[in-house]
Amino acid sequence: QEQADADAAAARPSAGTRSGAPAGAPSSPGIAGWVDGRPVDAQGNVLWVTSVPTADGDGSNGHMPASAMCQVPWGTDQLGFAQYLRCDAGDALTALNEAFRAQFGASLDLDLTYRSYEDQVAMKAAFGGLAAAPGTSSHGLGTALDVQEWPGTYGFGTARYDWLVANGPAYGWYAPARVRQGQPYAEYWHFEYGPGRTS
């Protein structure tokens, strides 16, 4: 925990180092530039995207190897970045998405999936207590997803949210109790993979 806090503190400088886009990064009209390897908008705000797993990952939280991760087949986030999950979680999500499409006529709108340790550090620095301590996020194992933060589409009590809560567990995907409506850090957009779990 102390090391994670130190890493987050080190990531807090308000002005990052301007740099070019990483190799393979998509071009998008929403991206005005790059700072410390992360896309920013025209106001300099960081645009959070799914991390890319690396070949040398050791399997620990935020260091998942590319060999254990699979790209979500129906595409990218709103900026054009690929989405990655641990392969078994991704296979289960693909099956869930087929049922979701049959119900709603469109695929799940994914926002974020895998999150590297470095991106967990940056997110902790940006959001403080609203973000998990680096090295503890379920996103860091490739077993969590966030749908788009569109309350009218996926918010608590919407048809899509209620359907996901009711049907997701049959595919191993569930809404954790700690983020359900009424909790201090309620997040309608967050779901995790854990076969046999319902909350």
Query: Stretch 155-181: mean pLDDT, rounded?
Result: 98
**What would the pLDDT profile of 29-78 be if each residue is shown by its tens digit?**
777 887 766 778 888 877 788 888 988 999 999 999 999 999 999 978 77
CATH class of 50-193: alpha beta
Residue intervals in the chain for CATH 3.30.1380.10: 50-193
Q: For strand 38-40 and strand 33-35, is the pairing parallel, antiparallel, or unpaired?
A: antiparallel
User: Which has more confidence, 32 or 20?
Assistant: 32
What's the rounded Cα separation, in Å, for the pair 193 and 174? 6
Q: Are 70 and 84 in contact (CB under 8 A)?
A: yes
More confident residue, 111 or 25: 111
Select the more confidently predicted residue: 170 or 36. Answer: 170
**What pLDDT is stored for residue 20 in this prediction?**
66
Answering whether pTM is above 0.85, one says: no
Do residues 85 and 113 make contact, with C-beta atoms less than 8 angstroms apart?
yes
Q: What is the pLDDT of residues 102-145, one digit of tens each?
A: 999 999 999 999 999 999 998 888 888 889 999 999 999 999 99
